[in-house]
Structure 1
Amino acid sequence: MTKAADIMHPGAQWIPENESVLRAAQMMRDLGVGALPVSDSNERLCGIVTDRDIVVGCIAENCDPSRTPVGQLTEGTPRWIPADADVTDVLREMEEHKIRRLPVIDQNKRLVGMISEADLAHHLSDDLLGEFLEKVYAQ
């Protein structure tokens, strides 16, 4: 049985909620990713910021990315999955909430990886991947 830990991109990094949007953009560039999990002061997942969030929520609003905290761009409670969850649970979570990136959390509630569409494409059959894409992108 395939688990979330088997398909995730390990070693995901997060950014503290009080860090600047500019720093988030630099980290995304350096890591080659389009999203970063955001942590609170207790190093717990409290949000996710995407490159689109930076453009729409900061740049387009004429905010200073060097002074805007990344936590200001996060909304709601982020979705996540335990590392030992079955891949069917991963797909259900992503499909039901129409999300493209899913943080993977260990037993101690610490971030251990991220699952993206690219990870799914590498590990799923064409049929399962097609079904996932249809459900996530359907209006």
Structure 2
Amino acid sequence: MSVTDMGKKARDVMHEGVQCIGEHETLRTATQMMADLGVGALPICGDDDRLKGIITDRDIVVMCCAHGKDIDRTTAGELARGLVWVDAEASLEEALFAMEEHHIKRLPVVAGHRLVGIISEADLAKELPDSKLAEFVHRVYALD
């Protein structure tokens, strides 16, 4: 069974209720939110409530802590980079392609210019046949 046979849209597989970290909030706040929510990534939203990026626990360690930056002074917006997202009405196949092409494990889902959810590997594991999931994992983790 191919993904297109499933007829699912990004909206159908995303995790709803995603919380943003404000672009001016510190990385300390981001780490506390991640711990409280039990997640490893947070979307970054601007003052205009629009998606600006996504930050992961690994980003904080590699781009802040490892470079001696202060997590109490560095903002989430400073680490925002390379925004990749998918429209809520996009097919699951389009979402998979975007994740594979950009080697990302979490994909924000947007509707009407607003963040409405996120698709993660765990969400895909519930939806994809084992063979398709294995193919996805191989492509996302493959080096260019």
> Which residue number in structure 2 is paired with residue 86 of structure 1?
91
1:14 to 20, 35, 47: 20
What amino acid sits opposite 1:51 in the alignment? D
> Which runs of 5 or more structure 2 residues have no equivalent in the other structure?
1-6
How many Å apart are 1:138 and its aligned residue? 1.4
Q: Secondary structure at the match of 1:30?
A: helix
Structure-to-structure mapping, 1:18-97, within 5 angstroms: 18-76=24-82, 78-97=83-102
Given the two structures, how large is their TM-score scaled by the length of structure 2? 0.91
Distance apart, 1:75 and its partner CA = 2.0
For normalisation by structure 1, the TM-score amounts to 0.94
Please say if 1:129 is aligned against 2:104. no
Residue identity in the other structure for 2:109: V
In the alignment, the residues of structure 2 paired with residue 15 and residue 104 of structure 1 have an alpha-carbon distance, to the nearest angstrom, of 16
Deviations 1:51-106 (A, max 9, x none): 01111111122222112111111223x10011111111111111111111000111
CA RMSD of aligned residues (A): 1.0
Aligned length: 137
Tell me which residue corresponds to 2:9.
Answer: 3
Identity %: 53
What is the alpha-carbon distance in structure 2 between the residues aligned to residue 75 and residue 89 of structure 1?
Answer: 21
Unaligned ranges ≥5, structure 1: none
**Which residue identity does 1:50 align to in structure 2?**
T
For residues 3-23 of structure 1, the C-alpha deviation after alignment (integer angstroms, 9 at most, x for no partner) is 111111111111111100000
Structure 2 CA distance for aligned equivalents of residues 44 and 54 of structure 1: 21
